[in-house]
Amino acid sequence: MENIQHGTEEKLELYNLSYDELKAFMAEIGEKPYRAKQIYQWLFGKSVTDVDAMFNIPEKVRQILKERTVTELLKPETQLRSADGTTNKMLLKTRDGQFIETVFMKYKYRNSICISSQVGCRMGCTFCASGSQGLVRNLTSGEMCQEIFLTEKAVGAKTKNVVLMGIGEPLDNYENLKKFIENMTEETGRDMSRRAITLSTCGLVPMMARLAEELPQINLAVSLHAPNDRLRKQIMPIAHKYSIEETVAAVRKHFEITRRRSTIEYALIKGFNDSDAHAKELATLLRGMNCLVNLIPLNEAEGDEHRGSSLHTAERFRELLGGMHIPATVRHSLGSDIEAACGQLRLRKSK
């Protein structure tokens, strides 16, 4: 259990334990496995962080938990609600004073939460607010779980769907990501469906292969944002490392292994990647693939020289793709009145 903790305090962070590690901890203090089950249910099933509220745990064990462990890894800092009430954005503070963001979206038939995987990001996409100050650190598995639990509490609603599209590159924090998924989907705890979890990556090709092998039920979204390497390199440094051909091949391979349809994310940037010719080039690149293209007019970040395409251009781009048998949707950005795009709130906080 060496690398479970971080920070200066020597206390064990309970939410960073897997179910097996919690059992080992209980064994260490002379408790039976069913005690681990009860505590795990409180932590991950009921998202209860107050040890004294765990009424079926004997006083003696609660005392040990209070002395040797911490349960609260995050605290709510700010909550913003969009004018139409559909979108809630939370700024959360970590124990070491960092800020991360979540977005809770209420739809008619289902809710969804978008969470962060890192404090900052080292991928350096030019248009993205999350990476403008580099990577501070990875989030732990427990912090990722609590992003969900705290946001649900603040909003007063639960969700079955999770997307890793907040701050950070999830595949750049793979071990913690995997543990997070294991804890959220463990049937003794929250018992979330793996099929309801979607991960977005800027295209870390070797890690995409690992994801398909090790976590085949997880949905994949890939940020392409350009139809060729020349343009992609101008906005996404990762394009210098992995070619667009390799990236798309990894998405095809992901489908072969998982039989799950991937999403291709494409931010439409005015005069840069949004012409009819770009739509044709993209359709050629994606021909025969089982994917859905998600078109998002660029959400202009502070200081970015690029502008978002109009909704009219986005609709035309979608129709062109559709005409070439590439299914596409236009995402009308929810919550732009509360700076719901990746990392904007954290960036503002740090200024």
List, by residue number, the catalytic residues: 101, 342
Residue 90: count other Cβ atoms within 10 Å of its Cβ. 23
Report angle CA 63, 188, 214 to the nearest 5 degrees.
120
296 binds ligand SAH (CB under 6 A): yes
Binding to ligand SAH by CB under 6 A, coded x per residue (else -) over 203-242, reads --------------------x-------------------
Spatial contact of 129 and 343, defined as CB atoms under 8 Å apart: yes
Nearer to ligand SAH, 70 or 264 (CB): 264
Q: Which stretch binds ligand SAH (CB under 6 A): 74-82, 96-104, 242-250, 294-302?
A: 294-302
Residue 342: count other Cβ atoms within 10 Å of its Cβ. 26
Task: In angstroms, give the least distance from the CB of 200 to ligand SAH.
Answer: 4
Task: In angstroms, give the least distance from the CB of 106 to ligand SAH.
Answer: 20
Q: Which stretch binds ligand SAH (CB under 6 A): 39-47, 55-63, 198-206, 256-264?
A: 198-206
Q: Please count the residues of this chain forming the interface with ligand SAH, following the rule CB under 6 A.
A: 18
Out of 299, 313, 330, 335, which residue is the one contacting ligand SAH (CB under 6 A)?
299
Spatial contact of 321 and 293, defined as CB atoms under 8 Å apart: yes
Name every residue whose Cβ is closer than 8 Å to that of residue 182 and which is 6 or more positions away in sequence.
18, 141
Q: What is the DSSP letter of 59?
A: H
143 binds ligand SAH (CB under 6 A): no
Q: Which stretch binds ligand SAH (CB under 6 A): 66-74, 197-205, 226-234, 310-318?
A: 197-205
Nearer to ligand SAH, 131 or 189 (CB): 131
Q: Which stretch binds ligand SAH (CB under 6 A): 21-29, 58-66, 82-90, 291-299?
A: 291-299
301 binds ligand SAH (CB under 6 A): yes
Spatial contact of 282 and 229, defined as CB atoms under 8 Å apart: no
Nearer to ligand SAH, 184 or 342 (CB): 342
Spatial contact of 347 and 132, defined as CB atoms under 8 Å apart: yes
Record the tokens describing residue 300, joined without a space: 């202009």
Nearer to ligand SAH, 177 or 320 (CB): 177
| Number of helices and strands in the chain (H, E) | 11, 14
Spatial contact of 26 and 62, defined as CB atoms under 8 Å apart: no
Binding to ligand SAH by CB under 6 A, coded x per residue (else -) over 94-133, reads -----------------------------x-x-xx-----
Nearer to ligand SAH, 98 or 200 (CB): 200
Distance in angstroms between the alpha carbons of the first and the last residue of the chain = 37
Report angle CA 325, 327, 330 to the nearest 5 degrees.
140
Task: In angstroms, give the least distance from the CB of 230 to ligand SAH.
Answer: 18
Residues 164-183 that bind ligand SAH (CB under 6 A): 165, 169
Residues 260-289 that bind ligand SAH (CB under 6 A): 265, 267
Sign of the CA dihedral running 292, 219, 343, 85:
positive
Strands 219-223 and 197-201: parallel
Nearer to ligand SAH, 132 or 140 (CB): 132
- For tokens 């990476």, the residue is 131
Task: In angstroms, give the least distance from the CB of 125 to ligand SAH.
Answer: 6
Helix (H, G, I), strand (E, B) or coil at 343: coil
Helix (H, G, I), strand (E, B) or coil at 66: helix
342 binds ligand SAH (CB under 6 A): yes
202 binds ligand SAH (CB under 6 A): yes
Record the tokens describing residue 344, joined without a space: 């904007």
Which residues share a beta bridge with 88? 81, 104
Binding site for ligand SAH (CB under 6 A): 123, 125, 127-128, 165, 169, 200-202, 223, 265, 267, 296, 298-299, 301, 341-342
